[in-house]
Amino acid sequence: MESKEYLKRSDTDDDARIDWGIIFCVLVLAVIGMTALYVALSHDNIANPTKVLLSQAIWYFIGIGAVRFIMQFDAEQLWKIAPVAYGIGIVLLILVLFMYSKTYYNHSGAKSWFAFGPLTFQPSEVMKPAYILMLGRVVSTHNSEYATHTLQNDAILLGKMFAWTIPVAVLLKLQNDFGTMLVFFAILAGVVLVSGILWRIIVPLGIAATVVGGTAIFLVIYNRDILTKIGFKAYQFSRIDSWLNPSAASGSDSYQLWRSMKAIGSGQLLGKGFNVSHVYVPVRESDMIFSVIGENFGFIGCCLLIFIYMLLIFQMIQITFDTKNEFYAYISTGVIMMILFHVFENIGMNIGLLPLTGIPLPFVSQGGSALVGNMIGIGMIMSMRYHNKSYMFSNEKDFENIN
């Protein structure tokens, strides 16, 4: 009878099962994003800035609903929906190749967006959490079937992981969306590191990836014909040129990067102040939003933003260590890598540390698809604590009495 009373009480004690630290970080990032978006729209002669701000606010509310909905799913339910979500994602990635927005294609050269009147949707963004779920299921299943890690067993596991990754990579290649493809590779790399695969396999793979990347940069500088023959586009060369020498390279990419670096540098230590902008940066409401923060709030403001991201990621890692579920651990690793890579790549390209890619800053940049995709990831992370047995009772003593 006593046990039933504890169980009944746990059903209404939701507050103890919600990670308010993660919610706080996301809300702070949302406030920063809306503030920076307001500044960008105020100085860029947007026809209807209020409509854009309202639209972004609506996406935040949709994202909050997605978090609330996804966190209701426990590990068993997420396990069951993983192949369904992955399959739906693949279908959407195929459909967008034939039903892509002509406007966005003419602007960016990527067949990545659906357009429904004034609304747009990028299916690759919601494919990210679906891919994370599927990857977690594949690794968990393999490790339960193979008790020990040997070269042969781990080679089989790698083969399975690549088998589920290749269709996504091919479809993104057909969409001309190399930046998003890199996010999936980052997720894959993170899950590989925690999957238990022997370092005798991981180290050679890391060296090979480094050699391939270094060779590609070398060929961009000295022999582009080889890369052109295997499918590299002119805009990709332009982004590398602007990255290597933004002040000397010509073209829109180098102009965008140079203006971003100038805006951030002009903010100096404390920034110029809220809603003060003297440096125009193209597309600063989305991919280059960090330049707005740097100009308005300076080095201190940028450091504060990075600290909030670090705090968010630290809390997600902490939840990962608290869970005893292997499947959950792979999910959280994928979500952490997804957000971490977005932050690293976006800030890196804004300050000239990395080449330009169309990767938004999580929870800050304008864009509904990316925001909802990241919120789904947050929902999966919060599901871990929400369904963690030790948090389903009013206190630790109650939990011990049940057991």
pLDDT single digits (tens) 236-273:
777 787 787 776 655 666 788 888 999 999 999 999 99
**pLDDT for 135:** 96
Q: Identify the segments of the chain with pLDDT beneath 50.
A: 1-12, 390-403
pLDDT digits (tens, 9 = 90+) for 64-112: 999 999 999 998 999 999 999 999 999 999 999 998 888 878 777 788 8
| Packing angle, helices 123-145 and 368-386, rounded to 10 | 30
Bridge-based pairing of strands 114-116 and 119-121 is antiparallel
Count of residues in the chain: 403
Range 257-262, long-range pairs (CB < 8 A, 24+ positions): 257/349, 257/352, 257/356, 259/291, 260/284, 260/288, 260/290, 260/291, 260/350, 260/351, 260/352, 261/350, 261/351, 261/352
Structure tokens at 144: 């339960």
Distances (CA, A) of 402 to 7, 20, 75, 93, 395: 9, 26, 21, 47, 11
Instruction: Name the pTM for this structure.
Output: 0.89
**pLDDT for 350:** 93
Residues 66 and 375: beta-carbon distance below 8 Å: yes
**pLDDT for 244:** 76
**pLDDT for 347:** 95
Residues 311 and 59: beta-carbon distance below 8 Å: no
Buried b / exposed e over 337-355, threshold 16 CB at 10 Å, is bbbbbbbebbbbbbbbebb
